[in-house]
Amino acid sequence: MDEKQENFVSTKEMTAGKMLYNARTTGRRKREISTIAKLLCIREEFLSALESGDYRVIPEDVYILGFARSYAVELGLNPDEVIEKLKRELGIVSEEKEEKEPEKKPETPKRKLKFNKEYFVKLFKRCVEYVKKHWLWFAIGFAIAVLAIIICVVVLTKRATPVQNDTTSTEVVTVAPAANAGPDFRFPVREKFNEKSAKESRVVLQAEKESWVKIEDARGNTTFSRVLVPGDVYYMPLSDKLKGTFGNAGGIDVWVDGQLVKKIGPANTRKTGFSMAPDALKAVGLAE
């Protein structure tokens, strides 16, 4: 029997904490919380709280979800399944109601068109008789149409003929600027977020230590909120009106136009409503 078959198989009735506990304590690779806590840089009491379901120990929902996702990945579980169960337990989302399929209306049979052969034969004969009576007018119209086509061809041919000049033209070659290679990150990149804005982004964040990051626009709407673990990269949208909140201001590297600037704040301190405009970040100064 292989290791995958010995692992615990989750059911719909099981809580997220029970899934994490069984994944850690069953199978051949039984592990201690202290070992996983050091590996993930998460406190042991937070991991124990996730397994027991005592979420009051962890200060905010965003930390609960971030820790649970990292814990599930480390234990080999499906992180989306664990997060979905956890959201329902916290009351963040409710179970989706199954939508009833609309009743299909019976299709009305299409009427088949019948081909009336006698009608088309009579119509053809009438057309032939009409042409015979007015053949002269048809001949004149045909001649006028041919003449108009010849005139159009001659005019278009003259316009398409290039005019030769004695002066030689100098061809100007425009060299496109080289693509932005991006910052020279100090740490190996683990995961990239909002990578679609990588080419136009002037401000790039990389987590040196675990930190919660929230970015808001000018109206206070949240455009990004996530716990970044060491190595994670986030490409900021191109805007001068974004503000950032950092759970660990000293754990985030900030790159502006490919240059590393000074830390937004000391380590293990919370920074709220900090302007993420490129010029404001450059005013802080470049990192030594």
Q: β-strands 222-228, 252-256: how paired? A: unpaired
What band does 167 get if pLDDT is binned at 50, 70 and 90?
very low
Q: Is 156 helix (H, G, I), strand (E, B) or coil?
A: helix
Query: Within a domain: residue 180?
Result: no
Q: Is the pLDDT of residue 212 over 60?
A: yes
Q: Which residues pair with 253 in a beta bridge?
A: 206
Using alpha carbons only, what angle is made at residue 237 by residues 233 and 239, rounded to the nearest 5 degrees? 135
Query: Within a domain: residue 172?
Result: no
Query: Within a domain: residue 175?
Result: no
Specify the number of domains making up the chain: 2
User: Which of 90, 110, 136 is the C-terminal boundary of a domain?
Assistant: 90
pLDDT in tens, 58-91: 878 888 888 889 988 888 888 998 898 888 888 8
Q: 21: domain range?
A: 7-90
Pair of tokens at residue 70:
């990292």
State the pLDDT at residue 193.
95
Q: Torsion over CA of 228, 231, 236 and 241, rounded to 10 degrees? A: 50
What percent of the chain clears pLDDT 70, i.e. is strictly above it? 80
Higher pLDDT, 199 or 178: 199
State the pLDDT at residue 254.
92
Q: For residue 184, with 0-12 CB atoms within 10 Å meaning exposed, 13-18 middle and 19 or more buried, which class applies?
A: exposed
User: Which of 67, 90, 113 is the C-terminal boundary of a domain?
Assistant: 90
Give the closest residue to 229 by CA, choosing from 205, 255, 198. 205
What band does 23 get if pLDDT is binned at 50, 70 and 90?
confident
State the pLDDT at residue 91.
80
Domain with residue 14: its CATH number is 1.10.260.40
What percent of the chain clears pLDDT 90, i.e. is strictly above it? 20
Query: Within a domain: residue 230?
Result: yes
Sign of the torsion angle spanned by Cα atoms 36, 40, 46, 49 = negative
User: Which of 90, 116, 137 is the C-terminal boundary of a domain?
Assistant: 90
Using alpha carbons only, what angle is made at residue 185 by residues 196 and 261, rounded to the nearest 5 degrees? 95
State the pLDDT at residue 145.
93
State the pLDDT at residue 224.
93
pLDDT in tens, 188-197: 999 999 989 8
